[in-house]
Amino acid sequence: MKFMDEYRDARLAAEYAQAIRRAVTRPWTIMEVCGGQTHAIVKFGVDELLPRELTLVHGPGCPVCVTPLEMIDRALAIARQPGVIFCSFGDMLRVPGSDTDLLSVKAAGGDVRMVYSPLDAVRIARENPGCEVVFFAVGFETTAPPNAMAVYQARRAGLKNFSMLVSHVLVPPAMEAILSSPNCRVQGFLAAGHVCAVMGYEEYLPIAARYRVPIVVTGFEPLDILHGVLLCVEQLEAGRAEVENQYARAVRREGNPTARGIVSEVFEVASRKWRGVGEIPSSGYRLREEFAAFDAERRFGVAGQTADEPTECLSGLILQGLKKPHECPAFGSRCTPERPLGATMVSNEGACAAYYRYRRPAV
Amino acid sequence: MTELMDASADFTASCPLPIGNYPHVLLAHGGGGRLMQQLIDGVFGPAFANPALDERHDGAHLTLGGQRLAFTTDSYVVRPLFFPGGDIGAMAVNGTVNDLAMCGARPRWLSAGFILEEGLPMETLQRVVASMQTAAAAAGVEIVTGDTKVVDKGRGDGLFITTAGLGVIESPGRIGPGQVRVGDVVLLSGDVGRHGMAIMSVREGLEFESPIESDCAPLVAPVMALLDAGVKVSCLRDLTRGGLVAALNEIADASGLQIDIVESAVPVIEPVRGACEILGFDPLYVANEGRFVAFVSPDTAELALTVLQRALPDIRPARIGDVVTGRPGLVTLRSAIGATRILDLLSGEQLPRIC
């Protein structure tokens, strides 16, 4: 398939691996930020091709994983209410809240629907004027433009029965949080290509300079990742700390100005809680005041609802790259995709789930 | 931030209460994945235990008056009732016929039970029945008994069909996971993922450049061709929910052997690959209704592939892997870039990814 097979070529992969081996002279730890990259790494076995000196740690870029427990609980509380049609992307449905998940709410009679686009939720609202339709707006900068567009269109259509439960997070503040931790092991980043396709990469320049880390904007196919690793390693070995763009076929320096425009019209930057990590200032989006009528937290009065995260789950450390999934004592025994302790085991993109599916050690 | 991290570093490894004892049946319990396996292991298996059931094959092997028979049943619930490449009627015949074929049996007789929802257009029912008639004729089976029930409007999804089938086993030896041996070659009858993506595209209103048609088809002819040619068949399994991965895991599990397959050897047509890429699906897990894997002894593997290629020239039968000594019950995949990973069952259904 065009634009795919050429980035999954075994011979080229071997050549990249060879080039990386030649470039590496000592141990380095590189974090791939995005859950999609983690998924590709374990699915294709990219890390098996890397020299022993290189450690890839899996970053916080899985939207399902970092959505805080209390936000899932708020979603569950809304979805349980009669007369509500609760719409969500597919992989949020299985994420456990404090006591249950959205699929179980559906099984118990709730109207929970999987949609492929937030605009589908707007259409459902238009077709069901007697119901409250709520969309669970989760994700990083990548999903922010369509989500913003949904609110924008709902307002333009004068819809009174559409609202959005917003749990949007941003990549650069999370990277800074990781870098400013005293336990930080990360020496270089593969930045999330699709986030940068929207936002561009100018905001990474001060991070690379301040923390002296190379940041390589990287795509999602196996050869993209190998290429990103090679560029990052070359910088590390040469003592450089620059922002480089491996994913030039999709990413421009300034990103996508139209997408950024609609995002900043509808959303404003706000403090956000990250599952397993805690509150990070200016690390997410909330609806601007002029769109407050579309805020599901206000409409359903769930904004005050809080939840304590289970302390036994290591997902916070895993999301920061401080631990690998199999270093958790619960991994594969008390914590499995059927009985997840934390969201990193639930999401397809979660580091624990990816390890469980593709790397389960001998039992 | 730093304080929070330090606090989280100080974790305890006590066991909290997981969400595992589902008080309700979830859709995923029927998804062909691990939850369905748990349902079979925890509810049905213990209650009905007997030697024929415990083999956990597609159909039961029975002997009656010296005659070896295969007996199976399946229920069909599909929305929409008509989809590109098939309909619930064709599925209800072919699915059961295929389960019998997987026992090395020639399907002979089928029963058909209909649960109709009040208000179902008579024309719809007639179309479905006509389709069953055509499929039965193509597979060489007769529908010899049936039943009809009607439920109140809103208490059914238009039409559910249950078929049971009886066939006469023609293979000289037993065919089943217990017969699989180290060294056996794994053949796949054709490209995977068409049925699941065809249903998905209609149900979810996804439009792809070239429409994807279900692979719904009877598998009697290619199976009989293998047996007639003298291929030493250890095990056959048609691919349904859970796709190729579910079938391979079931056989690896039941045979206590390891199966290695090569990703690049598994045929997938371009429209299916494209649709899967968009949704974040893996075609190896997507449902099929007209494909099977054959485990054959290495000395007849080449013959088997030739026979399949002659019987099914349009769908690219292929040799995809081998049975090896290793970890019992494990299925591994050599990836496109040459690394190896585990091919595990999914917990439930595949869910489209956010980004």
Could you give the 3-state DSSP secondary structure of residue A336?
A: coil
Q: How much is the average pLDDT of A300-321?
A: 83
Of A107 and B134, the one with more pLDDT: B134
Best of B1, B38, B343 to mutate (most A CBs within 10 Å, chain A): B1
| Residues B163 and B93 sit within 8 Å (Cβ to Cβ) | yes
Question: Which residues in chain B land under pLDDT 70?
Answer: 1-21, 32, 347-349, 351-355
**By percentage, how much of chain A surpasses pLDDT 90?**
65
Looking at residue A161, its amino acid is N
A312 interaction partners in chain B (CB closer than 8 Å): 11-16
Q: What is the C-alpha to C-alpha distance for residues B92 and A153, in angstroms, rounded to an integer?
A: 44
B271 interaction partners in chain A (CB closer than 8 Å): none
Looking at chain B, which residues constitute the CATH 3.90.650.10 domain(s)?
177-342
Q: What is the pLDDT of residue B7?
A: 32
A320 interaction partners in chain B (CB closer than 8 Å): 5
Looking at chain B, which residues constitute the CATH 3.30.1330.10 domain(s)?
58-169
Best of A6, A339, A347, A349 to mutate (most B CBs within 10 Å, chain B): A339
| Residue positions counted in chain B | 355
| Residues B91 and B83 sit within 8 Å (Cβ to Cβ) | no
Homologous superfamily assigned to A66-170+255-299: HypD, alpha/beta domain 2 (3.40.50.11740)
**By percentage, how much of chain A surpasses pLDDT 70?**
98
| Residues B93 and B136 sit within 8 Å (Cβ to Cβ) | yes
A254-290 pLDDT, tens digit per residue, is: 999 999 999 999 999 999 998 877 899 999 999 999 9
B34-59 pLDDT, tens digit per residue, is: 788 888 888 898 899 998 888 878 78
Q: What is the pLDDT of residue B283?
A: 95
A350-363 pLDDT, tens digit per residue, is: 788 878 877 665 43
Q: What is the pLDDT of residue B10?
A: 26
The mean-pLDDT minimum among A20-34, A55-69, A155-169, B250-264 falls in: A55-69
Q: What is the pLDDT of residue A109?
A: 92
Q: What topology does CATH give the domain B58-169?
A: 60s Ribosomal Protein L30; Chain: A; (3.30.1330)
Q: What is the pLDDT of residue A252?
A: 97
Which residues share a beta bridge with A88? Answer: A114
Element (H, E) at B144: strand B142-151
Q: What angle do CA B117, B98, B158 make, to 5 degrees?
A: 10
Q: What angle do CA B176, B182, B183 make, to 5 degrees?
A: 105
Looking at chain A, which residues constitute the CATH 3.40.50.11740 domain(s)?
66-170+255-299
Q: What is the C-alpha to C-alpha distance for residues A71 and A50, in angstroms, rounded to an integer?
A: 38
Please answer yes or no on whether A341 and B26 come within 8 Å at the CB atom: no
Chain centre distance of CA A89: 13
Q: What is the C-alpha to C-alpha distance for residues B291 and B191, in angstroms, rounded to an integer?
A: 8
| Sign of the four-CA dihedral A224, A225, A226, A231 | positive
Q: What is the C-alpha to C-alpha distance for residues A151 and A171, in angstroms, rounded to an integer?
A: 22
Q: What is the C-alpha to C-alpha distance for residues B86 and B93, in angstroms, rounded to an integer?
A: 11
Q: How close is the nearest chain A Cα to the Cα of B116, in Å?
A: 23
Q: How confident is the model at residue A54 (pLDDT cuts 50, 70, 90)?
A: very high
- Mean residue pLDDT of chain A comes to 91
pLDDT at A4 over 50: yes
Instruction: Specify the pairing of strand A28-34 against strand B258-262.
Output: unpaired
Looking at chain A, which residues constitute the CATH 3.40.50.11750 domain(s)?
8-64+181-245
A118-153 pLDDT, tens digit per residue, is: 999 999 999 999 999 999 999 999 999 999 999 999
Q: What is the pLDDT of residue A361?
A: 52
- The b/e string for A154-171 (b: 16+ C-beta within 10 A; e otherwise) is beeeebebbbbbbbbbbb
Nearest to A91 among B20, B264, B351 (CB): B351
Please answer yes or no on whether B337 and A143 come within 8 Å at the CB atom: no
The mean-pLDDT minimum among A5-14, A339-348, B99-108, B256-265 falls in: A339-348
Q: At what angle do helices B220-228 and B88-101 cross, to 10 degrees?
A: 20
Looking at residue A48, its amino acid is E
Q: What is the pLDDT of residue B355?
A: 52
Q: What is the pLDDT of residue B344?
A: 83
CATH class of A8-64+181-245: alpha beta
B281 interaction partners in chain A (CB closer than 8 Å): none
A43 interaction partners in chain B (CB closer than 8 Å): 282, 335, 341
What architecture is the B177-342 domain classified under in CATH? Alpha-Beta Complex (3.90)
Q: B6: which 2 tokens? A: 């330090």
pLDDT at A329 over 70: yes
Please answer yes or no on whether A49 and B15 come within 8 Å at the CB atom: no
Q: What is the pLDDT of residue B137?
A: 96
Q: What is the pLDDT of residue A236?
A: 98
Q: How much is the average pLDDT of A201-217?
A: 97
pLDDT at A217 over 80: yes
ipTM given for this complex: 0.72
| Residues B245 and B258 sit within 8 Å (Cβ to Cβ) | no
pLDDT at A50 over 90: yes
